[in-house]
A and B are shown apart, each in its own frame.
Chain A
């Protein structure tokens, strides 16, 4: 059973979003345990550049396994304020610690209201269960 931490928000594209304590416009984004398991061994992560402007729902990077390429869609709009450069040498962090050292990027949100459209942990768990039935 995939781990779905209670303190995060989620998307149907299997990204997680953590609102950082101390700055409620700053979010950290990664891909979920469910997604990394489905993808298998992550061998490369394509990151955006710090300073890039991204729109909610737009592709802003990619995660590659030996046999697949998966887009990373930005769950919210804003400016990329950090990327996890360690993933360039250690993409396996996405598999090993999807909610920790495997984080992908941070965005300073243009509109905090976009968080309202993200999934709660309960809603995301239900969504994953539904996916597995297909």
Chain B
């Protein structure tokens, strides 16, 4: 047995020696029997009871994820909104204070520096949640290209973050933070109080389920984690690791930076045109993206579903009529549907749902279908 691990930045990014940092919840993970792996410089829980069990927990009841490795960067100043707007592809002018937006930030050549959640806190304040692996690069990128009267502060080391995800998440949030937070519609952020400490609750996530993410000061992280576990016991709450986080996000067809998007792909290619507002004022990468849109987008990130046995995996070639025409960026066997699914870049001419392609699964050519995404969506009203 010789194992190849997928979701490359998650599991193959150096050895444990490189995992110098731990989160405030590290001891909790060890006490829960987690299997730890290095991720973005942190020693993080990949699984506790098993990826499939944790995946079902989030789809059926509620799971807790320690996502404290994610970075938090604050923009403050009179020009905060316009300054952030000059760095992102989405448009903060379109939303009110208290709202969250998913967006990319691009290099001048239009390729993706990171994908982020931006929170419009106030007219002079924006909080940005960045990928752990990109944190240093993001801050350098912001400082290089930012314009206007604004200060940028990397607060990542002060905050822990717990994602509470699943159909029972609102019930648990109501118990721990209050009913008004459970009632928030998606993509909102509000200040809450937990044991006297100011926390932020945002109705965002990476699983396709109800719930949200709690930004909590490090010193209160363990108390909050324990409160969520204790007060959700009757709901079936339990921890979920990065392994389940990956299968859950893939079923929802959410991109993973470093796998599906990176400095070689543009938001238009990645199907992120919906967060790329080419009509707004200047932002870093706009000219290149306007040009790409005018000239035609050469390839697109699509959902694929295997028609034959085999699981698509990162970097497996996509074939059409025996020719390599693209590659898989993420894949797994969907725990919710049992189907083998993936994301792949294919030429735009092959991007229509229903197109037949094949995947070179370790030397065996297996047929697959381009499909619409998400691969799994929670039942309406659930």
Known: A44-B309, A44-B311. A66 touches B1 (CB 8 A): no
Would you call A40 and B6 a contact (CB within 8 A)?
A: no
- Are A66 and B4 closer than 8 Å at their CB atoms? no
Smallest CB gap from B333: residue in A: A43
**Contact between chains at A70 and B1 (CB < 8 Å):** yes
* Interface-central residue, A15, A44, A63, A66, by most chain B CB under 10 Å: A66
Interface residue B144 (Cβ < 8 Å from any Cβ of A): no
Which of the residues B2, B332, B362 comes within 8 Å of A66, measured between beta carbons? B332
A39–B243 Cα distance when bound, in Å, is 12
CA distance in complex: A72, B313 (Å): 17
Whole-angstrom distance from the CB of A94 to the nearest CB of chain B? 11
Which of the segments B47-55, B92-100, B120-128 contacts the partner chain?
A: B47-55
Q: Establish whether residues B332 and A67, one from each chain, have CB atoms under 8 Å apart when the complex forms.
A: yes
Question: Which of B1, B5, B7, B340 is A63 in contact with, Cβ under 8 Å?
Answer: B1
Question: Number of contacting residues on A, CB 8 A?
Answer: 25
A/B pair count, beta carbons within 8 Å: 77
Contacts of B310 in A (CB 8 A): 44, 46
CB-CB under 8 A from A68, the residues of chain B are 3-6, 11
Q: Is there a chain B Cβ closer than 8 Å to A31's Cβ?
A: yes
Query: Within 8 Å of chain B (Cβ to Cβ): is A41?
Result: yes
In the complex, A106 has a CB within 8 A of chain B: no
Interface string of A52-95 (1 = CB under 8 A from B): 00000000001111111111110000000000000010000000
B221-279 interface (Cβ within 8 A of A) = 243, 246-247
Contact of B335 among A15, A66, A72 (CB under 8 A): A66
The answer, among A40, A64, A71, for a CB contact under 8 Å with B2, is: A71
Measured CB to CB, the closest approach of chain B to A122, in angstroms, equals 20
Q: Which of B3, B309, B313 contacts A39 (CB 8 A)?
A: B3
Tell me the count of chain B residues lying within 8 A, CB to CB, of chain A. 29
Q: Cβ of B333 and Cβ of A66 under 8 Å apart?
A: yes
Contact flag A40-B47 (CB < 8 Å), given A62-B362, A64-B311, A66-B246: yes
CB neighbours of B47 from chain A (8 A): 40
**A35 at interface by CB-CB < 8 Å:** yes
What 0/1 pattern do residues 1 to 24 of B give for CB contact below 8 A with A? 111111100110000000000000
The complex places the Cα of A19 from the Cα of B333 at a distance, in Å, of 34
B243 in contact with A67 (CB, 8 Å): yes
Shortest Cβ distance from B313 into A: residue: A69
On whether the beta carbons of A69 and B362 are closer than 8 Å, the reply is yes
Q: How near does chain A come to B258, taking the closest CB pair, in angstroms?
A: 14
Quick one: closest B residue to A88, CB to CB? B309
15 pairs of residues in contact across A and B, judged by CB atoms under 8 Å: A35-B1, A40-B47, A43-B332, A44-B333, A46-B364, A66-B55, A66-B332, A66-B335, A67-B7, A68-B3, A68-B11, A69-B4, A69-B6, A69-B362, A70-B1
New A-B contacts (7) at CB < 8 Å, excluding given A67-B11, A70-B1, A70-B3 = A38-B3, A39-B1, A40-B50, A66-B335, A67-B332, A69-B362, A88-B309
